[in-house]
Amino acid sequence: MKEEPCADCGKRGEIELEVHSSFYYREWNPVAYQKWDSTAVIGVLPAQVIDAIAPENCSFCHTFSADALDFDLARVEDSLFAKAYPKMPRELMFPGARLPDEDSTWIAQWMARFVETPWAEGKVLKDPSPWQERLGIEQSFQRLVTDSLKNLLTQISLKYNVRYLSVPILLKVEILPKAGKKGGFSWKSIWSLWDARYGELAFLTYVEFIAETKTRVAPDRYWAEPFAPYLWRMLKTHPSEIENH
């Protein structure tokens, strides 16, 4: 991500993006916030479903991949969480970090079950359609969590002694080489934070937008940067501040 560019990338400079066609859905659970612990451990899971789409003939897409997207989103998350919750330790939930290496199969199976668990409107967690039908809405809302989902959350909380789980559920980014002055991309994501101990959703946001370059520097890194304001809105907002609409 930080290597010098190849000849195709041209002279590296600041990527300037214009974000438009932005849509969102947001919800915060007031009951979860009544039990909020600002010093508890947050377990950080990788993005569960990543769809990184790029054309074969794209001259700057060699830096673009599912792993690069996940890494860049984690970079943004870490920075914003440290600002919003400086006393909450963040533990990476993958083998070699918070998880022992021998648990790699267990966590892979857990994540596969998690995203396929039915939830809102009976749709599985990775399905964005419940949120796409509510674009433009933000609300304070206690959403019912099914027993199967609650069991998964409390299971991982007890096993690894984490109170909260930050989970990017879906991340879909498509490179648009002809957009803007030097390319652009579309972004769609579901991002969630769970109180795993009590098996509750704390908050969730669905976001989609298009980002186009304003200068002739290709979007070959920092794809998650335009998502930062949307995530910051979730982190800095208390449910009591929301007028449901």
Backbone φ, ψ for residue 204 (5° rounding): -150, 145
Confidence of residue 1 (pLDDT cuts 50, 70, 90): very low
Q: Residue 11 contacts by C-beta under 8 Å, 6 or more apart in sequence?
A: 5
Confidence of residue 68 (pLDDT cuts 50, 70, 90): very high
**CA–CA separation, 13 vs 196, rounded Å?**
41
pLDDT 10s digits, 8-66:
554 557 899 999 999 999 999 999 999 999 999 999 999 999 999 999 989 899 999 99
Say yes or no to pLDDT of 245 above 70: no
Which amino acid is it at 203? F
The DSSP output letter for 95 is: B
Say yes or no to pLDDT of 89 above 60: yes
Of 195, 191, 226, which is closest to residue 210 (Cα–Cα)?
226
The DSSP output letter for 124 is: B
Confidence of residue 96 (pLDDT cuts 50, 70, 90): confident
> What percentage of the chain exceeds 70 in pLDDT?
95
Say yes or no to pLDDT of 5 above 60: no
**CA–CA separation, 190 vs 12, rounded Å?**
31
Average pLDDT for 165-177: 98
Of 201, 207, 107, which is closest to residue 145 (Cα–Cα)?
201
Confidence of residue 2 (pLDDT cuts 50, 70, 90): very low
Q: Residue 102 contacts by C-beta under 8 Å, 6 or more apart in sequence?
A: 95
Q: Is 122 exposed, middle or buried (0-12, 13-18, 19+ CB in 10 A)?
A: exposed
Lowest mean pLDDT among 4-18, 38-52, 145-159, 219-233: 4-18
**pLDDT score of 7:** 53
Confidence of residue 243 (pLDDT cuts 50, 70, 90): confident
**pLDDT score of 234:** 97
Q: 67: which 2 tokens?
A: 């792993």
Q: Mean of the per-residue pLDDT values for the chain?
A: 93
Average pLDDT for 147-170: 97
**pLDDT score of 133:** 96
Say yes or no to pLDDT of 108 above 90: yes
Say yes or no to pLDDT of 118 above 90: yes
Say yes or no to pLDDT of 3 above 50: no
**DSSP H helices in 65-212:** 66-84, 104-115, 129-132, 147-160
Average pLDDT for 85-105: 93
Greater confidence (95 vs 186) lies with 186
**Is the overall model pTM greater than 0.85, yes or no?**
yes
Q: Residue 67 contacts by C-beta under 8 Å, 6 or more apart in sequence?
A: none
Backbone φ, ψ for residue 73 (5° rounding): -65, -40
